């Protein structure tokens, strides 16, 4: 597995925006003491660079956590629990921990979870389940995950067809034929 590139730091945003670290921090947090035009420049540059604020900067020191984020549609569904078990086992073999998110088959929940995992600075995100049919939600997920990958994060999907990522695509047609043959 290739090593992820180093993550952007607030200092990188501040330098690019031509402001102090404290000003960049206040601008991104929406606090007082920063002129609106300066705050907007910092926010724009932050978006352009793909900077994601790190709520755990003291403990992570700007790097990625040794955490894998796994998003499943339904944790109590045998299909997804089997996937989760395999991910946990593989992660344990690599001294990683897994944070499991349950989307409940709701694309808004899933997007919120993607953003949360990125903010937590996980090194890997795995999304298990078919893509949604809402083009707006797909576009937002694709943009968030593309920025995550551009910043060095790894993305793997199971059953997704609209994301540019490593993918495991079950052969549903052959599986259905095998089940049908067995039943007949």
73/43 same-domain check: no
Q: Looking at the domain assignment, is residue 4 inside a domain?
A: no
CA 79 to chain centre: 22
For the ranges 35-44, 55-64, 117-126, 173-182, the lowest mean pLDDT is seen at 55-64
152/74 same-domain check: yes
74/114 same-domain check: yes
The pLDDT assigned to 58 comes to: 36
32/118 same-domain check: no
Q: Which two tokens stand for residue 49?
A: 């660079």
Q: Looking at the domain assignment, is residue 80 inside a domain?
A: yes
Q: Looking at the domain assignment, is residue 60 inside a domain?
A: no
16/76 same-domain check: no
What CATH number is given to the structural domain containing 93?
3.40.50.2300
92/124 same-domain check: yes
75/43 same-domain check: no
On whether the CB atoms of residues 108 and 116 are closer than 8 A, the answer is no
Q: What is the pTM of this model?
A: 0.62
73/105 same-domain check: yes
How many domains are there within the chain? 2
Could you list the residue range(s) of the whole structural domain that residue 158 is in? 67-168
Across the beta sheet with 67-72, the strand order is 97-102, 67-72, 124-128, 154-158, 166-168
> Taking residues 70-84, what's their average pLDDT?
93
Cα-based angle 48, 50, 54 (whole degrees, multiple of 5):
135
Q: Looking at the domain assignment, is residue 179 inside a domain?
A: no
- Coil, strand or helix: which one is 72? strand
pLDDT band for position 57 (50/70/90)?
low
């Amino acid at each position: 597995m290739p090593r992820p590139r180093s993550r952007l730091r607030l200092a990188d945003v501040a330098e690019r925006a031509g402001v102090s670290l404290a000003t960049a921090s206040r601008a991104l947090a929406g606090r007082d003491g920063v002129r609106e035009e300066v705050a907007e420049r910092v926010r724009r540059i932050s978006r352009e660079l793909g900077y994601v604020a790190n709520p755990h900067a003291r403990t992570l020191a700007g790097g990625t956590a040794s955490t894998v984020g796994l998003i499943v549609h339904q944790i109590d569904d045998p299909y997804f629990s089997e996937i989760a078990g395999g991910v946990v086992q593989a992660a344990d073999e690599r001294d990683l921990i897994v944070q499991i998110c349950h989307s409940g088959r709701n694309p808004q929940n899933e997007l919120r979870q993607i953003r949360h995992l990125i903010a937590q600075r996980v090194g890997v995100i795995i999304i298990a389940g078919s893509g949604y049919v809402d083009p707006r939600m797909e576009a937002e997920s694709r943009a968030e995950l593309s920025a995550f990958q551009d910043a060095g994060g790894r993305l793997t999907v199971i059953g997704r067809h609209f994301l540019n990522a490593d993918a495991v695509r079950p052969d549903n047609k052959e599986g259905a034929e095998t089940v049908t043959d067995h039943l007949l």
